[in-house]
Amino acid sequence: MRKYSLAVIALAMCLSLFMYPKTYALVREGVLDAGVAVWMSLSSRDGARAAAARDGRTRVVFMFDDGWESVYRTAYPLLKRYGCRGSVGMICGMARQEGYMRYAQLAVLYMDGWDILNHSYSHAPNMYERSEELLRDFQRARDWLEHKGFSEGMDMAIVPYGECNPYLIRLLMINGYHSVRTSDNILLFSGDDADYYHVKTIHMETDLSVEAVKEQLAEGRREERDILLNLHKLAEGADPANMTYSPQKLEELLAYLKENEAVFEVVTYTELLER
């Protein structure tokens, strides 16, 4: 009789999992995440980096902010075709939200040598005056990245909305961060010092033509600055938020960089900062 009751309870629990889709989804995600973690621990990362000998070439970083799913579906295969790797500024709290990359997709990129960087946990707006809170959000993202096995870029902070309060810079520095990227520049920390790594940031807005990008690349080269191409989503067509770039234009640009590889070298963000 007792055995029978236990079986009924177990059956009821299983059924309740399926009756509550949210619970079922959580259990399924948990099992999938555990599988990804095991796969990452058993594989070796394709991060064999060439020694960073500066050979006079201008370095170009493809930086995809926020962690949109079109980066995995569209940008990743395109860059791979041209032998290039990109970098993702991930909003870690979005990894289970519709339209964003999931843990498994981020893991594929990372194991293929892409950077997964700390773009905060929640990307909350209006945080300029709330540095302590923003630091906690970066810390939460850093814990998430470490826990998920993305330790390489977890202490490279990318400020949401790009504006950085000097007090936040100090907080990041004393909490052991390696660097912080604002909308147009990068600050590298070393001990008590912060030094600019001057890059030319090109904001790849929807209507920016390939010709205009080429002009800015040439300008960066003349100014002896490395270049950061800042992208978000990939898709054809208009976007009122100006955050979507055309895959066709991206491919034209990759072909151009390939043709001009004697002067331009595509690297990841961690390679640019030579870690």
Binding interface with Zn ion (CB under 5 A): 65-66
CB of 107 to Zn ion, least distance (A): 21
CB of 89 to Zn ion, least distance (A): 6
Contact between residue 84 and residue 60 where contact means Cβ atoms under 8 Å apart: no
Cα separation of the two ends of the chain? 65
DSSP 197: E
CB of 109 to Zn ion, least distance (A): 17
**Based on C-alpha coordinates, what's the Rg of the chain?**
21
C-beta of 204 vs 257, nearer to Zn ion: 204
Distance CA 33, CA 72 (A): 17
C-beta of 60 vs 127, nearer to Zn ion: 127
Tell the burial category of 30 from Cβ atoms under 10 Å away from its Cβ (0-12, 13-18, 19+). Answer: exposed
Amino acid residing at 130: R
| SS3 call for 239 | coil
C-beta of 66 vs 155, nearer to Zn ion: 66
CB of 162 to Zn ion, least distance (A): 8
Distance CA 168, CA 157 (A): 11
Shortest-Cβ-distance residue relative to Zn ion: 65
Amino acid residing at 169: I
| SS3 call for 274 | coil
Specify the pairing of strand 226-231 against strand 58-66. parallel
C-beta of 65 vs 265, nearer to Zn ion: 65
C-beta of 115 vs 265, nearer to Zn ion: 115
CB of 96 to Zn ion, least distance (A): 18
C-beta of 5 vs 126, nearer to Zn ion: 126
- Copy the structure tokens of residue 87: 């970098």
Contact between residue 88 and residue 105 where contact means Cβ atoms under 8 Å apart: no
- Copy the structure tokens of residue 188: 């590298």
CB of 123 to Zn ion, least distance (A): 6
C-beta of 65 vs 226, nearer to Zn ion: 65
Distance CA 275, CA 271 (A): 6
CB of 161 to Zn ion, least distance (A): 7
